């Protein structure tokens, strides 16, 4: 008998940094493996992705968007909603809504045969378990962060807790190179139940408890799909290989414009401006879709860019623009070397030959995009896995430098200028950084093409779920 077509429901947390890689994976499964995909994120994010669509379902022959409701269909407002309550409500409401989608697909004769769930969505695994279908975690952070979390939740919590007061204290975890406390994800170094990150820790722990449950039920290693490549994080993948099979299927770059929750600046003025700049001369600055910078930090970046004398393209979201700050109009001729936009197509920008440096918050999407495009980085990590990503850039791959911050946590203007010289200037170290950036561009792109390690892993995963 002919096997039924695979139909994967991909469940995604409603944040830009989660939607980007999850949607890219979904598109790759459809285009390269012919798998039917139903992509489901929360209603509030779905509406921002498709503001001109009244219908809840958009589809072609193999790809459908069906949003689930987390109870916050009109969006989350931090001025009104408590984040802890919202996270728990989203789990309860989302579980019911996503289960209804699965059951409705079965009733329509298109049963879901597998569920892939992303960060903070481990409750989707219970839906799959209740219906007797397999589920897989899609890890959207580096495998190194996964390995740190794994060891933290399995025997090493007390060891790390004893060192968290010293950011420079060295930590040795099984199979990983020595790292300092400041290089670890902030969720494992939070030592206060009232700290700014404590609210998220239970939901991260839940992801690993879900994997432990899978191990106990199946008596086998769970498979975790990861947006990385074997070549990028071999030691991290091997450090948990006895317990978990991490399958690198990335890094994923495709510029999926339809997944954006933000509207790029109109026209293509910033791309036209890049066309007029010299090769590898432009500093690109972006701190992602979530980080809200202090007014003083915006001022320091502004001063540092002006003092560097280099052309720059700077993304400053509306919620990072403080009253009274003038970032575009100035009599100083140096200011005219730059352009400030509210949002842009990052994949296109990083791929432009004029871009010579990326000043980044080190979100994993931005990190892998910098590798794929061969752009050296100045790392300014804020929280979560960004700290580990900065370590990977500087120490593991050698493609950038981490900026130091003041006692108030600010990257000051002169420090930014110093880092830009290290990455973009003349001399042995800048040349070595650029050489390694070019090397990793080649390695990461080779991993994703037909026959590359990540492409082989993706095809093996599809075969696994079909067997």
CATH code of the domain containing 410: 3.40.50.2000
Measured from the Cβ of residue 242, the count of other Cβ atoms closer than 10 Å reads: 10
| Shared-domain flag, residues 408 and 321 | yes
What is residue 330's predicted lDDT score, i.e. its pLDDT? Answer: 47
CA angle 416, 291, 69 (to 5 degrees): 160
Percent of the chain topping pLDDT 90: 72
In a domain? residue 242: yes
What is residue 289's predicted lDDT score, i.e. its pLDDT? Answer: 61
| Shared-domain flag, residues 23 and 122 | yes
In a domain? residue 161: no
Please state, in angstroms and rounded to a whole number, the distance separating the CA atoms of residues 364 and 18: 10
Print the domain residue range for 56: 7-145+180-256+449-466
| Shared-domain flag, residues 385 and 456 | no
| Shared-domain flag, residues 45 and 112 | yes
Judged by average pLDDT, the poorest of 81-90, 123-132, 312-321 is: 312-321
Please state, in angstroms and rounded to a whole number, the distance separating the CA atoms of residues 286 and 279: 20
Please state, in angstroms and rounded to a whole number, the distance separating the CA atoms of residues 460 and 133: 18
The encoded tokens of residue 312 equal: 């720059």
| Shared-domain flag, residues 219 and 278 | no
| Shared-domain flag, residues 398 and 428 | yes
What is residue 331's predicted lDDT score, i.e. its pLDDT? Answer: 45
The encoded tokens of residue 410 equal: 């600010």
In a domain? residue 174: no
What is residue 116's predicted lDDT score, i.e. its pLDDT? Answer: 98
Q: Is residue 323's pLDDT more than 50?
A: no
- Long-range own/partner contacts, residues 100-108 (CB < 8 A, 24 or more apart): 101/9, 101/38, 101/40, 101/66, 101/68, 102/9, 102/127, 102/131, 105/7, 105/9, 105/38
Strands 36-41 and 312-315: unpaired
Please state, in angstroms and rounded to a whole number, the distance separating the CA atoms of residues 10 and 18: 12
| Shared-domain flag, residues 247 and 290 | no
In a domain? residue 126: yes
In a domain? residue 125: yes
Q: Who has greater pLDDT, 5 or 308?
A: 308
In a domain? residue 285: yes
Q: Is residue 266's pLDDT more than 50?
A: yes
What is residue 218's predicted lDDT score, i.e. its pLDDT? Answer: 83
| Shared-domain flag, residues 267 and 323 | yes
The encoded tokens of residue 19 equal: 């939607």
Total domains in the chain come to: 2
Q: What is the end-to-end Cα distance of the chain in Å, rounded? A: 14
Q: Which of 42, 36, 28 is nearest to 112 (CA)?
A: 36
| Shared-domain flag, residues 303 and 353 | yes
Q: Which of 329, 323, 332 is nearest to 295 (CA)?
A: 323
What is residue 248's predicted lDDT score, i.e. its pLDDT? Answer: 97
What is residue 244's predicted lDDT score, i.e. its pLDDT? Answer: 97
What is residue 294's predicted lDDT score, i.e. its pLDDT? Answer: 80
In a domain? residue 157: no
Judged by average pLDDT, the poorest of 172-176, 437-441, 463-467 is: 463-467
CB 288 within 8 A of CB 19: no
The pLDDT tens digits for 328-362 are 544 454 445 899 998 888 999 999 999 999 999 99
Please state, in angstroms and rounded to a whole number, the distance separating the CA atoms of residues 370 and 362: 10
pTM value?
0.92
Q: 109 pairs with which residues across the strands? A: none
| Shared-domain flag, residues 58 and 201 | yes
Strands 179-180 and 338-341: unpaired
What is residue 327's predicted lDDT score, i.e. its pLDDT? Answer: 59
Catalytic residue numbers?
18
In a domain? residue 165: no
Average pLDDT, the chain: 89
Entry field: residues in the chain: 467
What is residue 1's predicted lDDT score, i.e. its pLDDT? Answer: 45
CA angle 220, 139, 146 (to 5 degrees): 75
| Shared-domain flag, residues 307 and 352 | yes
């Amino acid at each position: 008998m002919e096997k039924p077509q695979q139909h994967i429901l991909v469940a995604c947390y409603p944040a830009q940094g989660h939607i980007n890689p999850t949607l890219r994976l979904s598109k790759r499964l459809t285009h390269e493996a012919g798998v039917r995909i139903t992509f489901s994120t929360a209603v509030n994010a779905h509406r921002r992705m498709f503001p001109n669509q009244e219908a809840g379902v958009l589809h072609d022959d193999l790809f459908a968007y069906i949003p689930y409701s987390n109870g916050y269909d009109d969006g989350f407002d931090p001025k009104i909603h408590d984040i802890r309550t919202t996270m728990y409500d989203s789990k309860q409401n989302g579980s019911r809504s996503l289960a209804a989608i699965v059951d409705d697909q079965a009733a329509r004769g298109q049963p879901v045969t597998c569920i892939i769930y992303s960060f903070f969505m481990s409750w989707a695994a219970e839906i799959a378990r209740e219906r007797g279908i397999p589920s897989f975690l899609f890890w959207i952070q580096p495998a190194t962060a996964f390995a740190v979390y794994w060891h933290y939740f399995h025997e090493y919590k007390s060891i790390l807790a004893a060192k968290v007061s010293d950011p420079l204290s060295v930590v040795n975890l099984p199979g990983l190179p020595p790292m300092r406390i400041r290089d670890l994800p902030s969720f494992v170094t939070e030592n206060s139940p009232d700290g700014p990150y404590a609210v998220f820790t239970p939901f991260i722990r839940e992801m690993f408890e879900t994997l432990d449950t899978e191990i106990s039920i199946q008596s086998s290693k769970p498979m975790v799909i990861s947006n990385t490549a074997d070549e990028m994080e071999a030691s991290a993948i091997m450090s948990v290989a006895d317990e978990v099979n991490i399958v690198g299927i990335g890094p994923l770059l495709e510029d999926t414009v339809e997944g954006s929750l933000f509207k790029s600046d109109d026209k293509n003025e910033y791309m036209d401006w890049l066309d007029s700049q010299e090769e590898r001369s432009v500093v690109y600055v972006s701190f992602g879709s979530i980080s809200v910078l202090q007014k003083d930090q915006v001022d320091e970046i502004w001063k540092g860019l002006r003092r560097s004398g280099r052309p720059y393209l700077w993304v400053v979201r509306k919620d990072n623009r403080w009253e009274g700050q003038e970032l575009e109009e100035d009599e100083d001729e140096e200011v005219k070397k730059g352009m400030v936009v509210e949002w842009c197509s990052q994949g296109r920008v990083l791929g432009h030959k004029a871009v010579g440096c990326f000043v980044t918050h080190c979100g994993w999407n931005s990190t892998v995009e910098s590798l794929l495009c061969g752009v050296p980085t100045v790392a300014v990590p804020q929280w979560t896995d960004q700290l580990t990503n900065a370590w990977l850039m500087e120490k593991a791959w050698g493609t950038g430098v981490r900026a130091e911050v003041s006692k108030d946590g600010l990257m000051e203007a002169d420090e930014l200028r110093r880092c830009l010289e290290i990455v973009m200037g003349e001399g042995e170290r800048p040349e070595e950084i650029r050489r390694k950036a070019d090397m990793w561009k080649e390695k990461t792109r080779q991993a994703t093409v037909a026959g590359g390690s990540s492409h082989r892993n993706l095809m093996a995963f599809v075969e696994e779920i079909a067997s």
